[in-house]
Amino acid sequence: MAQQETDEQTLINDGYVVDTEDCEARELAHRERGTARPITVVGNPVLHKECKDVTEFDDSLAALIDDMFASQKAAEGVGLAANQIGVDLKVFVYDCPDDEGVRHTGVVINPVLQELPAELRVLDESNEGCLSVPTAYAELARPDHAEVHGQDAQGNPIKVRGTGYFARCLQHETDHLYGYLYIDRLSKRDRKDALRQMEEGTPRYETVPNA
């Protein structure tokens, strides 16, 4: 198998992932096998188009996932999409707490964000940032519940759901893989301000210079 058995996410309740168990060990195992890569930033073409579907669930995919966890840790992020390290594939990883402080760690391949029923469409207007827009933050309203359907590293169908900060992470990373940065959802004024913050700041991690 492309992934070790200890890295596989278990499933319960109609395919929902249990991503809150053994987080430390699973994240560390990926990271120790992986190599951190520099982060692509806004303006890099790979960030501004829909990524390709993953069709091969093999050792190269497993290696990519390991590198993504290593890159996420090096940049001190809570989520990372493959195009953020320059790879044109629909993959994201996460190591993110929810609003109750519960840690969620996992990977989603070919994610599709599900439409929420009206009773769950409560907007949270918290600040949001992005490793690909370093040092910039802006308030962005997003639903405080999210559910993503996709596949795990072996190609099995999975579902991931979250609330609060973790819900924001799931939406943010899925957006990446369809060519959207969070600043694309801001008003023109707020987008301009975020880009100004980025220009004036200094990233704390290695980035890929845009040509």
What number is the average pLDDT over the span 98-111?
96
Does 4 have pLDDT greater than 50? no
46-71, pLDDT tens digit by residue?
999 999 999 999 999 999 999 999 99
pLDDT score, position 14: 77
Provide the pLDDT confidence category of residue 123 given band limits of 50, 70 and 90.
very high
Sign of CA dihedral 68, 74, 79, 81: negative
Residues tagged active-site: 173
* Integer-rounded Cα radius of gyration of the chain: 16
pLDDT of residue 1: 19
The mean pLDDT of 114-121, rounded to a whole number, is 86
Q: What is the pLDDT of residues 171-207, one digit of tens each?
A: 999 999 999 999 999 999 999 999 999 999 999 999 9
Phi, psi of 193, rounded to the nearest 5 degrees:
-65, -40
Residue 10, pLDDT score: 52
According to the model, what pLDDT value does residue 9 have? 52
What is the distance between the terminal CA atoms of the chain, rounded to a whole angstrom? 38
pLDDT in tens, 158-181: 999 999 999 999 999 999 999 999
* Confidence category of residue 13, pLDDT binned at 50, 70, 90: low
Average pLDDT over residues 1-21: 60
The predicted pLDDT at position 7 comes to 43
Distance CA 209, CA 41 (A): 8
- Under DSSP, the state recorded for 205 is S
The pLDDT of residue 50 is: 98
- Mean per-residue pLDDT over the chain, rounded: 93
Reported confidence tier of residue 3, pLDDT bands at 50, 70, 90: very low
Other Cβ atoms within 10 Å of 130 Cβ, number: 26
